[in-house]
Amino acid sequence: MPELVPIDDATFAEATALALKTLSVFQQNRGHYNNNMNSHLRGKLGEIACARWVETLGLDCEETFRDLGRMAETDLVIHGDRGCRIDVKTWSDKYWPELGRCVAVNQLAKLQAKSDLIIWCITPEELRSGIRVQLVGWNSLEDIANAPRRLTGPPRGRKVDNFQVDSDCVRNLAELSASLGQQEPPR
């Protein structure tokens, strides 16, 4: 069952400020997908929502996504340096069915080096205070490496060579929350 994390005014303002900072760093890059304020804001809302969810589990969570100097690292670290390293990927509900659950083929090796797993999130298409971020589930990087490889993208837009996890292969958050209390990251 997905987790829903509400976004209040303060959280939305915080996500917006973080998104403006990351956009300013990457605004000249083409990116794997869209590189604009909307995509950066969507990503920050997902990262903040995941950090809040981990807090509800009573776990210590290092929120590396907040530090511009650590953008090459994973988004969240649980149990310190030896613990579970989590990257967060957030999609619009409009694009989730066809285009969600993707990792660009040329991004996989970098993710494997820095993360143990990915948590998938969905937001409404319109980003604003009062929405809820849906934490849909998770997958290990091994799951993603074994996922089908597909060219994805809008019918008249740029196609991206992706590993795309089928929706029925996304793992349940209950499994992840049960395993996060253990020393070894889930596989």
pLDDT above 60: residue 182: no
Q: What whole-number distance in Å separates Cα of residue 22 and Cα of residue 44?
A: 9
Neighbours of 52 (CB within 10 A): 18
Q: What whole-number distance in Å separates Cα of residue 131 and Cα of residue 90?
A: 14
| pLDDT for position 183 | 47
Q: Which of 8-17, 57-66, 87-96 has the lowest mean pLDDT?
A: 57-66
pLDDT above 90: residue 24: no
In terms of pLDDT, which residue wins out, 183 or 9? 9
pLDDT above 70: residue 187: no
Q: Quick: pLDDT tens for 151-171.
A: 998 888 889 999 999 999 999
16, 45 contact by CB (below 8 A): no
Taking residues 5-34, report their average pLDDT.
Answer: 83
Provide DSSP, 101-156.
SEEEGGGHHHHHHH-SEEEEEEE-SS--TT-EEEEEEEEEHHHHHTSPEEEE--TT
Question: What is the average pLDDT score of the chain?
Answer: 90
One-letter amino acid for residue 20 of the chain: L
Report the predicted TM-score, pTM, of the whole model to 2 decimal places: 0.90
Provide DSSP, the chain.
--EEEE--HHHHHHHHHHHHHHHHHHTTS--SS--SHHHHHHHHHHHHHHHHHHHHTT--EE-GGG-GGGTTS-SEEESGGGSEEEEEEEEETTTHHHH-SEEEGGGHHHHHHH-SEEEEEEE-SS--TT-EEEEEEEEEHHHHHTSPEEEE--TTS--EEEEE--GGGPBPHHHHHHHTTSSSPP-
